[in-house]
Structure formats: structure tokens, C-alpha cells
């Protein structure tokens, strides 16, 4: 496919660096500020530099407040029967359709780990999209990690609260965990190694196991042992479950309000 990436900021650029590692698609970036683009990517700075009806997909990776001003200039570059794919948070399909008219439109919510090929993206396609378009877009989004099909835009808001914003929660938990290790007497580098490798190894253990998370937790928890003592403090009064529930609910409410 021929793909036009409209905007190449942090997220668009991160996804592009994963996409160019795979064969099968040709990429053009439209962004006057783009620098250090991967080899083989065509770069333009304005819409008038593009031929009409050239691209199978236009990926919208600019800030939501810029879309109404910029997208009309570039929409003529889409082939008849092509589709728009937006990774702009908070910009609904209805908003996009109000700009480009009746068209095949997909919304994708990626997260930060796309930059290392381990991202989680959710994809919602409007009814104009064909199965072939959905399959093709899902395939190239999956080059940045996993891609979860979604049945509604409300599911995008819910996914945003869990995985889209999720790296921020995890970084904060890791920061607090590292600080706790340092207060126990380890230096910063040792604390980072202990925490990062513990988390990475635990995640991989869970991935490779068919057991439930509760069963895995119980398998490393001896009665009256050190893990039990730590868990009793962590889970006191149901505070961990309540805190995480409050976290994702607050993010969900904000995601819904931004549309």
C-alpha cells in the first residue's frame, strides 16, 4: 500500500520507525518540521507537493486542533476507495467525517511502547470501511505491537483509559517502587535494575503460563512469609483495587469528555 503520514511527531514517528522495518508498504511523510526520517521515506512539506489520488491510506497523526485546518488540503491525495486512519486522540469519526465527507474512516489508539514494537493499539472502523481495508490496516498497525479490534468509539475511550494512558501509570508505579528500594538502602542504579528486571521477568512468566494471575501470585506466596507480609500491606483494605479502579475511571471520563 501507499501510505501518507500526515504529521510525524513523537507517536507518528515512533510508529513509522517500526513500519519501515517491514516490507510491503511505501511511506510519504507530510510535515514541514520532520527531520531524520528513515531511509526510503519520501518527505513533503506541503499538500501542493503531492499528486491527487495517490495514496491508499492517509494516517492522520497531527494534533486534533490542527485537523480541521490541514486535513482538507491533503484529502485529495487519497485514492477513490481509500481510507483515513486517525491516531489523533479525542477526535471522533463524526468530526473527521464532517471534514472529509462520507469516507472509510478508522480510529486507532496506540500507546508509547509502539516505539519499541511492543505497543497496544485499539482499532475502530466506521461502517464505510471494507473488510479488506480493515484487514490491511490491522496488519500494518500490528507491526508496532498488538492491535485489538473495537466495536464502538466508546470502546476506544475505555481502551484509552487502560492501555493508551497505561504507560504513564506503569512509569509512576515503577518510579515509586525504585524509590522504595532506594529507601531500603540500595543505590539508584541497583534499584532500577532490581525493579525493572523483576517487572520484566514477572510479565514474561505470566505470558508463558496458562495459570491465572491469582494462581501465579499464590505460587510465590508462602504462608506467613515475606511475600505475604508485603502483599498484606499492598492490599490493605482493598486500597490497591480501589486506587487502580479510580485511575482508569478518571481517565475514561476524561477521554469521553474530550470528544
CA distance 144 to 14: 9
- Tell if the pTM clears 0.85, that is, is over it: yes
- Looking at residue 105, what is its pLDDT? 98
pLDDT of residue 259: 73
Give the span between the Cα atoms of 47 and 80, in whole angstroms. 18
Question: Which residues 6+ apart lie within 8 Å of 124 measured at CB?
Answer: 93, 106, 107, 108, 150, 151, 152, 153, 155, 156
- Which element (helix H / strand E) includes 197? helix 188-207
Name the burial class of residue 93, with classes exposed (0-12), middle (13-18) and buried (19+) by CB atoms within 10 angstroms of its CB. buried
Please state, for a pLDDT cut of 90, what percent of the chain lies above it.
93
How much is the CA Rg of the chain, to the nearest whole Å?
22
What domains, with CATH codes, occur in the chain? 2-163 (3.40.50.720), 166-258 (1.10.3730.10)
pLDDT confidence tier of residue 29, bands split at 50, 70 and 90? very high
Residue-wise pLDDT tens digits, 142-160: 999 999 999 999 999 999 9
Residue listed under C-alpha cell 511502547: 113
**Per-residue pLDDT at 24:** 83
Q: How confident is residue 130, by pLDDT bands cut at 50, 70 and 90? A: very high
In the chain, what percentage of residues exceed pLDDT 70?
100
Residue 103's pLDDT is 96
Amino acid at each position: 500500500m501507499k501510505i501518507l503520514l500526515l504529521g510525524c511527531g513523537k507517536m507518528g514517528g515512533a510508529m513509522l520507525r517500526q513500519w519501515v522495518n517491514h516490507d510491503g508498504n511505501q511511506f510519504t511523510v507530510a510535515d514541514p518540521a520532520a527531520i531524520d526520517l528513515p531511509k526510503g521515506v519520501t518527505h513533503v512539506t506541503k499538500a501542493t507537493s503531492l499528486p491527487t489520488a495517490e495514496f491508499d491510506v492517509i494516517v492522520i497523526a497531527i494534533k486534533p486542533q490542527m485537523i480541521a485546518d490541514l486535513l482538507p488540503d491533503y484529502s485529495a491525495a487519497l485514492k477513490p476507495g481509500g481510507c483515513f486512519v486517525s491516531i489523533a486522540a479525542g477526535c471522533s469519526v463524526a468530526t473527521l467525517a464532517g471534514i472529509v465527507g462520507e469516507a472509510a474512516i478508522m480510529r486507532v489508539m496506540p500507546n508509547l511502547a509502539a516505539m519499541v514494537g511492543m505497543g497496544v493499539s485499539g482499532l475502530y472502523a466506521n461502517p464505510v470501511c471494507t473488510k479488506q481495508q480493515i484487514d490491511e490496516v490491522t496488519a500494518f498497525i500490528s507491526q508496532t505491537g498488538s492491535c485489538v479490534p473495537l466495536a464502538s468509539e466508546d470502546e476506544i475511550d475505555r481502551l484509552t483509559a487502560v492501555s493508551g494512558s497505561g504507560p504513564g501509570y506503569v512509569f509512576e508505579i515503577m518510579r515509586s517502587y525504585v524509590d522504595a528500594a532506594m529507601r531500603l538502602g540500595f543505590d539508584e542504579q541497583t534499584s532500577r535494575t532490581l525493579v525493572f528486571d523483576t517487572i520484566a521477568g514477572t510479565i514474561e512468566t505470566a505470558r508463558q503460563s496458562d495459570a491465572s494471575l491469582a494462581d501465579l501470585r499464590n505460587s510465590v506466596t508462602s504462608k506467613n512469609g515475606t511475600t505475604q507480609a508485603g502483599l498484606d500491606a499492598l492490599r490493605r483494605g482493598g486500597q490497591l483495587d480501589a486506587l487502580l479502579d479510580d485511575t482508569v475511571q478518571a481517565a475514561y471520563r476524561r477521554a469521553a469528555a474530550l470528544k
